[in-house]
Amino acid sequence: MKELSRRVWHILGGLCLSIAGLLITRQIFILVFCSVAIVFLIFELIRLRFPQLNRRFITCFRALIREREASTLTASAYLLIAASIVFIVCDKSITVMAVTFVAVGDPVAGMVRGKSLEGSGACFVACLVAGAILAAATSIALWVVVTGAICATLMEFLSLPLNDKLTMPLASTSAMSLIKLVTVV
């Protein structure tokens, strides 16, 4: 039940972030989002420094926190870091696509079977479906979406030392941005 609550939290949070990124003007979104991200990251660092505050945080958010996150940054912090970077540096449509990939692909993989071929297959399908929906609302070609979905899925599947909430959006945004740049030139 705890993992389901956590996955639903990540899906809803990521999708809300993506929708806001699409609907709000770029400058206002970046200002507000980065401000919220900075405040959240400062809180994360403070809670990790003060055990009493950390215990209270863990108690309040027990349904959403993994055991190892009691002594490290939460997955939400990694997503906020990655999203801040890509929203500042990259095209808004591609960034929204990449954040949506991590918002739906990673939790779906976990619901199916985690870091396995089945889980990664589910991640890829979820990324493709979400990407196809977003492609209809943006100017991103479907083959760019497929490339981003492949990169996001690879980052989900690989057991890298970095959190996949960080690597999935960074890798998929980089790949889609590069492909979009090469096809424009």
Per-residue pLDDT reduced to its tens digit, 109-147? 999 987 899 999 999 999 999 999 999 988 899 999 999
* Helix ranges (DSSP H) in 61-160: 75-89, 92-100, 106-112, 117-137, 142-157
Structural domain tally of the chain?
1
> Cα(134)–Cα(160) distance, rounded to whole angstroms?
28
Structural domain span for residue 141: 2-184
**Global pTM value:** 0.91
Q: Which residues of 103-119 are buried (b: 16+ CB within 10 A; e: fewer)?
A: bbbbbbbbbbeeeeeeb
Residue 11 has pLDDT above 90, yes or no: yes
* Residue 83 or 4, more confident: 83
